[in-house]
Amino acid sequence: MKNIQQIRSLGELKKSGYQPRSVKEELRANLIEKIRSKDTIFPGIFGFDDTVLPDVERAVLSRHNILLLGLRGQAKTRIARMLINLLDEYVPVVAGSELNDDPLAPISRFAKDLIAEKGDDTPVAWMHRDERYVEKLATPDVSIADLVGDVDPIKAANLRLPYSDERVIHFGLIPRSHRCLFVINELPDLQARIQVSLFNVLQEGDMQIRGFKLRLPLDVEFVFTANPEDYTNRGSIITPLKDRIESQITTHYPTTIDIGRRITEQESRITDEQRERIRIPELLKNLIEEIAFSARESEYVDKKSGVSARLTISAYENLYSTAERRMLRNGEKKTTARLTDFWGIIPALTGKVEMVYEGEQEGPYAVALHIIGEAVKKVFLEHYPNPAKLKRGQERDPYGVVRAWFAAGNTVDLLTDLSDKEFYKALDQVAGLGKVAESAGGDKAEMYAYMELVLNGLAELEVLNKDLVQTRWVFRDFITGNLKDEDDEDMRDLFN
């Protein structure tokens, strides 16, 4: 076959042996080739290998339009955009056509008239697959004219044509997506009367505009995205439209910490300099993912709205930035992130969760601290025994020395901007803490991460008392700490 870049006329195209095929046939044929050659079809999509992606592939093989149904931050739009890679690299179009007319199967008045006039000399252009992707965010102000089209009075005036002439039509996004992949995001936001305009094109494959008799046999692969819960009360997908979308595929959040980490590390925007100068212990990477799991299970968070994967991505970036800021302020060349640095990820949490009434009463900052605390507790119990379940006399208390040290009236102040040297010194002073932490293994940096985890885990399990006082975390004996809090409260009452 002649090089496609060299074919410039309809006559040459006919001689090349080119045969037109629909968008759905293109997607199906190219997917079959990729499956046979064992190519990666959806690179960078993790956790869907046994659930979502097989369903998408089956829908493509079945030549279906697709509805991706899932909570926010579940890679719905990314999957839709990746389908473009299953289209042919180039397809021929009638040069100058608004509707991407196939030279051998034209549908527009312009293309038909041009072919009738020039025959085999009709100019042919080539359209790359990247130009065949159209995406529209559904909003309440989207009109039928936007999607389908309308009469253009300016065009009628300039061409001196009556409104009855179809050449005065201004085509909307859907006709202009002929032979393309067309994605509508947040479908429920589209008003019900606008959703009705999609019936014909989905079922019969054609569309009428403003009562004109022309019937455009459009060739479009539709992909819709939507949230399963109408948590913003904006609208819903009308039943007849859902009935016409052949495959409805439900997405989900990562099911394991490992999958979450792969997504977070792939999507986070961390500079090479940050990676070189700042180390994030494996423990803290796991803890960030656990925070997302805890948020999705929290009684303060609206489960219908979901907790986006963007939470962990933003938190991961903030953790790097918090450690970087501390490093710069202390004039250090390198540093390791700490659990204390997690105070800096709170802005990433407060903007990513929608709270129920109880959460709103607590306040976003308090809810963020609660979620972090729940994640710390879970990670702590994965590495160390629960102090509340140790049986007296039958099992040695691994935290005995640590308890005794704090019971003697000692405290630990961890300022958020402590230098590495001061930070290590503050933790090293706690008798028995290193002994408890070393059971988890790891080098020096990992060791101090586990020492911090022990302090915070014991505080979450009410063995120790932990207070956030401006820019420092203060750890003390639980009973002493509570008595001090009560004394402070009594003093405030006295002076009030």
Mean per-residue pLDDT for 60-66? 97
Yes or no: say if 307 and 74 are a contact pair by the CB < 8 Å rule: no
pLDDT the model gives residue 144: 86
Task: Give kind and range of the element (H or E) at residue 30.
Answer: helix 23-36
Mean per-residue pLDDT for 192-213? 81
Residue 229 has pLDDT above 90, yes or no: no
Give the number of other Cβ atoms within 10 Å of residue 301's Cβ.
24
Block residue for tokens 């918090």: 322
Yes or no: say if 298 and 367 are a contact pair by the CB < 8 Å rule: yes
Yes or no: say if 315 and 349 are a contact pair by the CB < 8 Å rule: yes
Positive or negative, the Cα torsion across 146, 151, 155, 159? positive
Residue 151 has pLDDT above 80, yes or no: no
Residue 187's nearest CA partner among 230, 243, 134, 132 is: 230
Yes or no: say if 249 and 66 are a contact pair by the CB < 8 Å rule: yes
Residue 486 has pLDDT above 70, yes or no: no
Between CA 416 and CA 408 the distance in angstroms is 25
Dump pLDDT digits (tens) for 238-250: 999 999 999 999 9
The pTM of the full predicted model, rounded to 2 decimals, is 0.87
Angle (deg, nearest 10), helices 52-61 and 23-36: 130
The domains of the chain, with CATH numbers, are 4-250 (3.40.50.300), 254-383 (1.10.8.80), 390-496 (1.10.10)
Rounded to 5 degrees, what are φ and ψ at 91?
-135, 150
Task: Give kind and range of the element (H or E) at residue 158.
Answer: helix 153-159
Yes or no: say if 9 and 120 are a contact pair by the CB < 8 Å rule: yes
Residue 53's nearest CA partner among 72, 66, 37 is: 66
Residue 269 has pLDDT above 60, yes or no: yes
Range in 12-21, 23-32, 90-99, 438-447 with the lowest mean pLDDT:
438-447
Residue 116 has pLDDT above 90, yes or no: yes
Mean per-residue pLDDT for 17-22? 91
Please state the separation of Cα 30 from the chain's center in Å. 27
Between CA 146 and CA 10 the distance in angstroms is 32
Query: Highest mean pLDDT range out of 155-169, 201-215, 342-356?
Result: 342-356
